[in-house]
Structures are given as C-alpha cells and as structure tokens.
Amino acid sequence: MRIVVQEAPFDFGAEAETFASGRHDMGAIVTFTGVVRDFGNGTLDAMEIEHYPGMTQKALEAIAEEARTRWSLGDVLVIHRYGRMEPSEKIMMVATAAPHRKDAFEAAEYLMDYLKSRAPFWKKEHATTGETNWVAAKDEDEDALSRW
C-alpha cells in the first residue's frame, strides 16, 4: 500500500505500469485518474487545491485500510496532488489490485467515493476572467457514500 500527497505532478503511465507489473496472483488491476476539466468552453484558467497537511495522509490511509478490510485486495495505491493545476493536468489517481475484477472495481469506487467527501481537500476554480469560486460539494457525492 502506498499513499502519496504531493504538490508535484506524478507520472500516471509509469505509476500504472509499476503498480500492474510483476503480479502473479492478482488477476485484476483497476485505476482511476481525475483530470482538471475546463468544462469544454476554455473559461477555466486553473484549479487550486487546498488541503489539511496534518490530516490528509492519515485520512487517506484510513480510507485505504478500510477498503482492504472490505475487499480481497493485494495492493492499493493513492496519489493526490494539491496546489495549482491547469486543465488536462492529472489531479490524483487510485489503483487497486485484486484476484478478481469485482473486488478491484468496487474497492476503486469506494476509494473514490470516500476521497471525494471525506479526505480534506478543497477545490477552488480560477476563471480566465479572474473570478474565483470554491467548488461546492455535491449532494450526489454525499449520497454515494450510502451504498457502502
């Protein structure tokens, strides 16, 4: 299990390759990657992500540990950035390795649902006009937790 919180970009392809390689007993690897969207109209200049340094790593570890108790997993990877990112930059990734695909998929979705609403990150949009906007949490993201 590896949990990384960093400001710098990460190499998604290399991380995915390393995570998926050399596994003899895990038949299923799932990755999720979150990307900064400009909403298709080019009005987003950047996304700024604030976090709670003392708590973030612990919160992510607790979420990952809970996933490992709920599903049969061989490994879990979480990388989450903070700071300023432009459209098309990768914000974060999770990866799960499991003997079977159902566990790998469900655990990845669980990690994402909890990361969205229970890890101490806050997103602020910077528009090309200079306006800023704290992204509001969505009811549907909170509701997504109820399925677990």
Is 77 strand, coil or helix?
strand
Q: Judged by CB, which is closer to another protein: 59, or 77?
A: 59
Alpha helices in the chain (DSSP H): 12-20, 53-70, 101-118, 139-144
Report which residue type is found at 3: I
Contact of residue 126 among its own copies, another protein, none (CB under 5-8 Å per partner type): none
- Count residues contacting another protein (CB under 8 A)? 27
The one of another protein, its own copies, none whose footprint includes residue 103, by CB under 5 to 8 A per kind, is none
Binding mask 117-146 for another protein (x = CB under 8 A): xxxxxxxx---------xxxx----x----
* Sheet strand arrangement including 132-134: 83-85, 44-51, 121-127, 132-134
61: tokens are 């570890």
Residues that bind another protein (CB under 8 A): 34, 50, 52, 54-55, 58-59, 80, 91-92, 101, 112, 115-124, 134-137, 142
